[in-house]
């Protein structure tokens, strides 16, 4: 089991694209979602699948367990998906020796671009890349489970 400390940001421009190290096409769907746990299946590049169990209500630090799943089983379980099947391309982008995962959503979530940083501790704001926009860590509407259930998040005027 691994604990993760996760920060999530909207992405304000495309300056990150020059630093992409790798890209993965992801099809992701949920089999169960509640306020304190979720069961997710993710198919990566159409070649491998992984089942992820997440426990805890704190969106930036939860217990997580992952297991490989035969690809044929993952495709069959797609029929049991709750809500929208999420389709996105995940880009790995390194800045100041930290690896960011920049998710560019398509399909029903087209136009949404979110960056995540998972570390063992919180990274100082001064070390964050300039292409990051508003921090949305802990905002439920930007969690993948909420995106699957509720679609594109409504913008809240501040």
Domains of the chain: 2-150 (2.40.320.10)
Per-residue pLDDT of the chain (158 residues; tens, 9 = 90+): 455 678 999 999 999 999 999 999 999 999 999 888 999 999 999 999 999 998 887 655 678 899 999 999 999 999 999 999 999 999 999 999 999 999 999 999 999 999 999 888 778 889 999 999 999 998 889 989 999 999 988 754 43
pTM to 2 decimal places: 0.88
Active-site residues, by number, are: 30
Tell me whether strands 113-119 and 132-135 are parallel, antiparallel or unpaired: unpaired
Matching residue, tokens 């367990």: 65
Calpha distance 90→151 (Å, rounded): 18
């Amino acid at each position: 089991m691994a604990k993760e400390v996760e920060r999530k940001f909207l992405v304000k421009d495309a300056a990150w694209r020059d630093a992409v190290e790798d890209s993965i096409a992801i099809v992701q769907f949920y089999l169960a979602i509640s306020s304190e746990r979720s069961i997710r299946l993710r198919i990566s590049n159409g070649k491998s699948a992984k089942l992820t169990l997440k426990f805890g209500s704190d969106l930036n630090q939860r217990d997580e367990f992952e297991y490989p799943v035969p690809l044929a089983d993952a495709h069959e379980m797609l029929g049991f998906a709750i809500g929208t099947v999420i389709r996105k391309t995940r880009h790995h982008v390194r800045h100041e020796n930290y690896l960011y995962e920049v998710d560019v959503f398509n399909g029903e979530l087209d136009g949404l671009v979110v960056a995540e940083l998972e570390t063992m501790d919180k990274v100082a704001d001064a070390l964050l890349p300039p292409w990051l926009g508003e921090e949305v860590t802990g905002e439920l509407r930007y969690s993948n489970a909420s995106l699957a259930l509720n679609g594109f998040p409504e913008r809240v005027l501040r």
